[in-house]
Amino acid sequence: MLVHGAWHGGWCWRRVADLLEHRGHRVFTPTLTGLGERSHLMSADINLDTHIADVVNVLKWEDLKDVVLVAHSYGGWPVSGAIEQTLDRIASVVYLDAFVPEDGQKSLDTASDFSRKAFLDAIDKGELSRAGPPATTFHVISEKDQAWVDGKTTPQPIGVSLQPIKLTGAREQVQKKTYVRAPKYPQPFFDSYYQAKRNDPSWRTYEVSGGHDVMVDMPERLTEILLEVA
C-alpha cells in the first residue's frame, strides 16, 4: 500500500503502481480524506485520526496481509498511527523522504519553515486548509511533471497538523523497516531520520538523487527499492 504526503493524492503513485502491477503485485493507493479526488470532503472535523483511519480501513476491508506499507513525506504520520492498529498485517514499512514521528509529537512540530508559515497564515485567516507550494519547491525535475503536479495538488486539512500522535512502539516491531532519503530536498528532520536509521541495524537505508516526489521523478528506481525490501 502506497500512502501519499501533504497536498497530494493517490494519483501521485500512478507510475510506480503501474510498474508494480506489471510485475504481478496488488497495489493500493488510497487518497486521504479531504485531498485529491476526495477534496470535496474537506472539513474542520478532519484530524490525524481521520487519516489514520483511512489507512487502517483499507487494510481491514481489503483483508490485506503481509503488506509492504509505504509512507511518503507527511504520510509517515498516518502510517505510523495505522501500524499501532494493524501490526499483524504489516510485513515491511518504508518511509520515503518521510516523517518518522515520536509519541506525543504533532505535525506542526516538525514542519519545514515554508510549511509552518503557510499553516500559521491559514489559521490567522480562519481557513480549514492550507494551500500547497509549487512543485518546484519539491524539486520536481521536469517542467512537464511540474505542471502535472501543480495541476493535481490540493489544500491540506489544518486539523491533521494539530493533533498529537499516540504511539506505543508498534512501528519498531515491524520485521522489515526502510528509510529512503532524497537529499536534494532540504528537510533537517529527514536528514536526522536518515542518519539515525543508517546507524540502526534493524533498518535499511537508501539515498536517491531525485527530488522529494521520488515516485514522480524516479519511479523505476523506487520500484526497484520496494521490490528489494518487500
Residues taking part in catalysis: 73
Residue with cell 518518522: 100
Q: Across the strands, what pairs with 71?
A: 3, 95
User: CA–CA separation, 39 vs 53, rounded Å?
Assistant: 17
For residue 182, which amino acid is it? A
Residue pair 227/219 in contact by the 8 Å Cβ criterion: no
Beta-carbon-side half-sphere exposure of residue 93 (alpha carbons within 13 Å): 29
Q: Cell numbers for 186, please give them.
A: 532540504
Please state the φ and ψ torsions of residue 21, each to the nearest 5 degrees.
-65, -35
- H-type alpha helices, the chain: 14-22, 48-61, 76-86, 107-110, 113-124, 143-152, 188-198, 214-217, 219-229
Proportion of the chain in helix, strand, coil states, percent, rounded to 5:
50, 15, 40
Backbone angles phi, psi at 32, to 5 degrees: -70, 150
Cell numbers 540502526: residue: 200
